[in-house]
Structure 1
Amino acid sequence: MESGLSSLLNVSIDFETSHLFFPTIIHWIMAGLFALILVTKVAPFLVAVKRGERTLPIVGEPMDAFRFFGTLALIVAYFYLMAVVGNMFPYTGYGFLFVSIAFVFLMSLMYMHEWTKKAVIIVAINAIVAPGLAWFILAKLFNITLP
């Protein structure tokens, strides 16, 4: 009887796959929540659209092509240049810092409706302070490696 009890209390861990335990649980929880959202929110909305009570919010709306494609281009350039600049200053996080400053500045300018001197100065200060603060907290305080 002792051998049966000791086998119940014996724990063996497969270290090659043990790191996948919690991500697998999280994936299933997220899939379940996604299905729940589809059933409770999207399906009734589509039924209302089919009956003519509601309309799809995107169809028929004018599109700002400059901002849409500009945003896509800036995001692609941001991730590409972060690696390029990060390789110039390895293990410092300067790739994140310098490219994030330019990204925030250009993205803010692109979405700004009125370009006044005061607004551009505020955007420039925000573009320096926000990524600088994030870089300082992540790279210096928490020692998180940034590109």
Structure 2
Amino acid sequence: MESGLSSLLSVSIDFETSHLFFPTIIHWIMAGLFVLILVTKVVPFLAEVKRGERTLPIVGEPMDAFRFFGTLVLIVAYFYLMAVVGNLFPYTGYGFLFVSMAFVLLMSLMYMHEWTKKAVTIVVINAVVAPGLAWFILAKLFNITLP
């Protein structure tokens, strides 16, 4: 009798798969929430579209091709040039710093509607300070290796 009770109260942990316990629970919760969103929001919206009460967003709306494709080009160039410039200054994080400054500057200028002296000055200051601060905190304070 005692061996049955002790086996009931004993716990064995498989350390090769125990790290997957909580991620699996989170995945199932997220999948359930996704289905809940589909049922409560998307299905009624599509029913309204089918009845003609609403239209699908994006379809038939004008597209700003310059900003759309410019953003795609800048993102690809950002990741490519970060490695290129990073190889010029290995283990310093200057690739991240210099390319991020240019990226933030060009993205901000591309999306700015009115080019006033004040707005451009703010964009330039932001393009220098924000990546510089991120670089300083990550590379110098926390010693995180940046490209």
1:139 is displaced (CA, Å) by: 2.8
1:38-91 Cα shifts (integer Å, max 9, x gaps): 111111111111111111121111001000000111111112222232333333
How far apart, CA to CA, are the structure 2 residues paired with 1:91 and 1:137? 15
TM-score, normalised by the number of residues in structure 2: 0.82
1:127 is displaced (CA, Å) by: 0.6
Larger CA deviation: 61-70 vs 18-27: 18-27
How far apart, CA to CA, are the structure 1 residues paired with 2:53 and 2:13? 56
Larger CA deviation: 90-99 vs 75-84: 90-99
1:33 is displaced (CA, Å) by: 1.6
Q: Which residue of 2 aligns with 1:21?
A: 21
How far apart, CA to CA, are the structure 1 residues paired with 2:128 and 2:120? 12
How far apart, CA to CA, are the structure 2 residues paired with 1:7 and 1:134? 54
* Structure 1 unaligned residues grouped into runs of 5+: none
How far apart, CA to CA, are the structure 2 residues paired with 1:12 and 1:35? 34
How far apart, CA to CA, are the structure 2 residues paired with 1:17 and 1:85? 40
How far apart, CA to CA, are the structure 2 residues paired with 1:68 and 1:9? 61
Identity of aligned residues (%): 92
* Residues 1:137 and 1:32: Cα distance change in structure 2 (over 3 Å): farther
1:21 is displaced (CA, Å) by: 3.2
Q: How many residues align?
A: 147
1:6 is displaced (CA, Å) by: 5.5
1:14 is displaced (CA, Å) by: 4.4
Question: RMSD of aligned C-alpha atoms?
Answer: 2.3
* Residues 1:35 and 1:126: Cα distance change in structure 2 (over 3 Å): same
* Residues 1:31 and 1:142: Cα distance change in structure 2 (over 3 Å): farther
1:3 is displaced (CA, Å) by: 5.2
Larger CA deviation: 133-142 vs 46-55: 133-142
Aligned pairs for 1:119-138 within 5 A: 119-138=119-138
How far apart, CA to CA, are the structure 2 residues paired with 1:61 and 1:120? 30
* Structure 2 unaligned residues grouped into runs of 5+: none
* Residues 1:12 and 1:35: Cα distance change in structure 2 (over 3 Å): same
* Residues 1:48 and 1:141: Cα distance change in structure 2 (over 3 Å): same
1:28 is displaced (CA, Å) by: 2.2
